[in-house]
Structure 1
Amino acid sequence: MNTSPPLVAALSISVLLLSACASPAGSPAPAASPHREPSPSVREQASASTRLAVTHEDGLTVLDAATLESLAEIPMEGFLRLSDAGDGRHLAVSGAGGFRMLDTGSWSEKHGDHAHHYTAEPVLTGGLLEAGKPGHVVAGAGRTAFFDDASGQVNLVEAGRLGARELGAGQVQLPEAHHGVAVPIDGDSLIVSLGTADGRTGAAVLDGTGDEILRSDECPGLHGEAGAAGAIVFGCDDGMLVYRDGSFRKVASPDGYGRMGNQAGSPASPVVLADYKTDPGATLERPETVALVDTAAGGLRLVNLGTSYTFRSLGRGAAGEAVVLGTDGALHVIDPVSGTVVSRIQAIDPWEEPADWQQPRPALHIADGTAYVTDPVGSRVLAVDLGSGEVVRTAALAAVPNEISSPRESGPAQ
């Protein structure tokens, strides 16, 4: 844990309006929003609903999470990635040219001691954040950070503007381009990765004016981030970097090289689930061990699953349980405190990880106590009740699925 020496470099912050692409007619939104136009497709519902988005080679499919009914097919070209935008309604779609906003068409509005729930047709809003290499998207403290790996520029968008046709964004320019990440925290502060095109070394906290107030250089190969109860973490080649209570702390791997490049956190638990790789020379390592890092106590526990998994295999249940989709086709449900595998739920047939990371492989996404598993071989998606351990719904898809996600509201500021 290190306090800050001089500034990261000449960081600059500027605020400007980014022009958006033309938006499809009839883009749905609540009439009360100052940034949207009312749509005749908006309907008030009796209860809140969740919608899933799935990427494939032809674009996006939006599903009703309760029924797995297909609600919309949205054509888009190229390899697409999905990220939660943090407002409970939108997903960021990364593709050629930058980040676009997918309005999943389901949201709630608080009204005193209750909320009103709405649905509308899912659409791309037309809002665009240009990026040469669109990378990580992270929401927190009422803002969403979009990282451009090609320039090292971070665009910050207020949560209330994610559905706007013109995205008003503040910009933070980091000293050098790298495959990085930025996390908004309270007080208009920001945690950013430190690095160059040759690699990452750690993270720094910037205040609202861009001045560096804290840093740690103890995270070689920094990759990814996750939020836990009271903490934010970053994966390192030799463990995990934890930001908690205003300071950095390193939790070291038991191996000299013990990479935790992908993480899954939960607001219900201080423990973070991460993958765990030990071979720095591997072209494609297929690990069978996962890591559980206690961000409060600083402890680390390794759990051997007896099966391999991939970066799309990690998830967290509603009570904070750790869930891993193995190449044996099963969901391995782990108690995050004891590290005990408490159940094994067979979901799909055994499978093998493809050599190219962009190629479809089964993916796990958990929402509202249900685990959604994609099956590229069968071009389908399955809904698994984590409580009962039963596959409760299965739906055929029109194309081979790749990524799957649903919107959430970002947690409390750190």
Structure 2
Amino acid sequence: MKRGSRAHEGARAASCIGRRGRELARRGVSLGLACSIGVLASVPGALLGCSSEAEPGAGGQADAPAAERHTSWRRARVLVGDGRGGSLHVIDIEDEEVIAELDVGGPAALHATESGDYAVAAVADEVRIIRSGVAIVDHTDHIHIYKSPAKVLDLSLSGASPGAFVSREEWMSVFFDGSGQSGAPGQAVMIKEPSLNGESPEIVTLPPVDPHRGIAAPLGDAFLVSFPPEGEPGSLPLGLNVLGADGEIIEGVPSPCPGLSGQAAVGGEISFACDDGLLLVGRDGGAITARKLPYPSADARSFTLRSHIERTVLIGDFGGSTLIEIEPENGASRAFDFPAPVCHFALEPGRGEQVIVLAADGSVYELDLATSAIAARAAVVPAFQCDDAVRPGLALAPDYAYVTDPAGGDVHELQLGSLTITRSYHVGGAPSAVVMMGLNVRNVNIAPGAAHD
């Protein structure tokens, strides 16, 4: 398997875990055995304990101060898609190597589920599902990690132009945009994620609609499904309907959302980006609620929204080089400008205190939300255009960022804070799309002193 090469070597720092603890943790998980991560709030570090009769292997993160890292890093895997072919590479962060090479038949858009158990690869007119090979049992004050080989499931979904993907409340949805030219309708397919572990996955195929760049999202025991403006095939949606599991329309969301694109969950609501502001849809008992928040100005709009389970704000793009933060409670907002167009952005998955940006100048930026300042910047890949067919991608684990480099065939790992490249994985080809597997959004930040649901 291909291993990562270190960009620099530093002095080995003292760790509250100690060398023996690191070796035990590494060898236990790498053999696919259960590992327990204990979180002791009264101790300034996490105690890792695993058991195995095999000899400890070399490598690992021994040169990284363990007390400064989220314990979550041990379970994360990076899924990388080739921008010109169908190969997928799986990098295990703990093992520091490419542990699998899979194939999905063509260049794929990649998405990860909330649980981290699965990823989805949308390829032309087909969707494939990848099992991460990481399972987590949560015991509140510690978690057990189980690892097995990553694999592409036999299950395949077919439809014209798979587009928007949503993972929420144990459901994952894929919206097939359809095609006005071929006559293929738009259609939402919902999959109950836990059922993928059984022999008969629970799949709900909702009724077809006119072709458009749509979206579907679960909301309690119902589904929100978009519909297009009349007579405008291929357009962005005009609004949302509420459908039951039987596919029947229960009601329409009372507020329209022209140009709907992008969604993020915050609190008990789902926010959608529209031409004229953000639409927040929720439930009050059995009733659907909807309210609109205006943008801070009419000069731009958002197309992509991000949120974090430990924060009450939304982050959205707002023009080429600007991000905005909006407080859903009262609509208060602030803007953050960057020196180059923002191509990818996400909240650091641990505590959500920073926004990490990959910009068209090839640099990674770390925005500190507490100070509203760009705290760090590092040139990582050659400059590119945000709409390039094959372009660099960004994925985040607690404390670390992963940036694909199609020109060099590499995946670079950067330590957040300093934004130094700690290692690079050479996978060859043109690595482009990238997502993180193995990280459950509800326990991603199991670490001393961290909030935990």
Is 2:333 aligned against 1:344?
no
The 5 A counterparts of 1:7-406 are 43-46=32-35, 49-56=75-82, 57-58=84-85, 59-110=87-138, 115-150=143-178, 151-164=185-198, 166-186=200-220, 188-196=221-229, 197=233, 198-209=235-246, 210-244=248-282, 246=284, 247-256=289-298, 258-277=300-319, 287-310=320-343, 313-317=344-348, 318-320=350-352, 321-336=354-369, 340-353=372-385, 356=388, 359-406=389-436
Q: 1:138 to 1:349 in 2, by over 3 A?
A: closer
Structure with higher Rg: it is 2
Distance 1:265 1:232, change over 3 A: same
Q: CA deviation at 1:114?
A: 5.4
Distance, in Å, in 2 between the alignment partners of 1:141 and 1:308 is 33
SS in 2 for 1:162: helix
Q: Secondary structure in 1 aligned to 2:432?
A: coil
* Cα separation, 1, equivalents of 2:283 and 2:368: 25
Counterpart amino acid of residue 315 in structure 2: L
CA deviation after TM superposition for structure 1 residue 137, in Å: 1.9
Aligned partner of residue 301 in structure 2, secondary structure? coil
Counterpart AA for 1:361:
R
In 2, the alpha carbon distance for the partners of 1:269 and 1:112 equals 20
Structure 2 CA distance for aligned equivalents of residues 236 and 337 of structure 1? 27
Partner residue, 2:41 = none
* Cα pair distance change 1:354/1:270, threshold 3 Å: closer
Shift in alpha-carbon separation, 1:207–1:165, aligned structure 2, 3 A: closer
The one-letter amino acid of 2:122's match is: S
Secondary structure, counterpart of 1:403 in structure 2: strand
Conserved? CA contact 1:142–1:410, under 8 Å: no
Contact 1:109 1:115 in 2 (8 A): yes
* TM-score (norm: length of structure 1): 0.78
Letter in 1 for 2:33: E
In structure 2, what residue type is equivalent to 1:360? Answer: V
> Residue 200 of structure 1: SS of its match in structure 2?
coil
Q: What secondary structure sits across from 1:161 in the alignment? A: helix
1:245: how far off? Answer: 5.8
The structure-2 alpha-carbon separation of the partners of 1:267 and 1:96, relative to structure 1 and needing over 3 Å to count, comes to same
Structure (1 or 2) with the greater helix fraction: 2
Mark the CA change 1:51 to 1:322 in structure 2 (over 3 Å): closer, same or farther.
same
- Take 1:164 and 1:133, find their aligned partners in 2: how far apart are those partners? 28
More displaced, 118-127 or 246-255? 246-255
The one-letter code matched in structure 2 to 1:300 is: S
Could you report, residue by residue, the CA deviation over 1:313-369 in whole angstroms, capped at 9, with x for unpaired residues? 11111222222112233332224466x12412304145121654xx22221111223
Q: Which amino acid is the alignment partner of residue 231 of structure 1?
A: E
Of residues 140-149 and 156-165 in structure 1, the stretch that sits farther from structure 2 once superposed is: 156-165
Distance 2:253 2:214 in 1: 15
Q: Does the residue aligned with 2:262 lie in a helix, a strand or coil?
A: strand
Paired letter, 1:333: E
Once the two structures are superposed, what CA deviation does each residue of 1:56-110 show, in whole Å capped at 9, x if it has no partner?
A: 0232111112354111111333221111133321111111342111112221235
Gaps of 5+ in 2: 1-29, 37-73, 179-184, 444-453
Displacement of 1:42 in angstroms is 8.1
CA RMSD of aligned residues (A): 2.7
SS of equivalent to 1:266: coil
For 2:329 and 2:414, how far apart are their aligned partners in 1? Answer: 31
2:318 partner amino acid: Y
- Give yes or no for contact 1:271–1:337 (8 Å, CA) kept in 2: no
Q: For the residues of structure 1 that align with 2:370 and 2:254, how far apart are their CA atoms?
A: 27
Give, in whole Å, the separation in 2 of the partners of 1:383 and 1:112. 29
- Give the structure-2-normalised TM-score: 0.72
Percentage identity across paired residues of the two chains:
25
